[in-house]
Amino acid sequence: MSLPVTLGVGQVSIYGAGSIQSIINTGENSPIRYGIVNQMNSQYGTVAIGDSVMYNVNDIVAPVFYIDTPFYVLPEDKVIAIEDAVITPP
């Protein structure tokens, strides 16, 4: 599910909370969060829909709720890191 809007160029929408690799933030009051990119408006983006990303909540430009789900819109260039895919051991 994504927001029923067209995002501005260079914007991404992130939902969910948590890291796919179970990375834990050690700072009690740290603004660093993880979520999944579920929508974007970028022809040549550095992230893709479905990527698990790290971001700073202070960079969110539009926190919104849609169907009881929080979504956070922020500039794509404010994404701090993209998690590697989960690789299961043999």
Buried b (16+ CB within 10 A) or exposed e, 45-67: bebeeebbbbbeeeebeeeeeee
d(CA 2, CA 83): 21
Q: pLDDT tens-digit profile of 4-39? A: 888 888 999 999 877 666 666 666 788 888 889 999
Q: What is the mean pLDDT of residues 55-79?
A: 93
pLDDT band at 46 (very low <50, low <70, confident <90, very high): confident
Q: Is the dihedral of CA 41, 53, 74, 2 positive or negative?
A: positive
The tokens for 62 are 């539009």
Per-residue pLDDT at 79 exceeds 70: yes
Query: Residue 63 — φ and ψ, nearest 5°?
Result: -85, 125
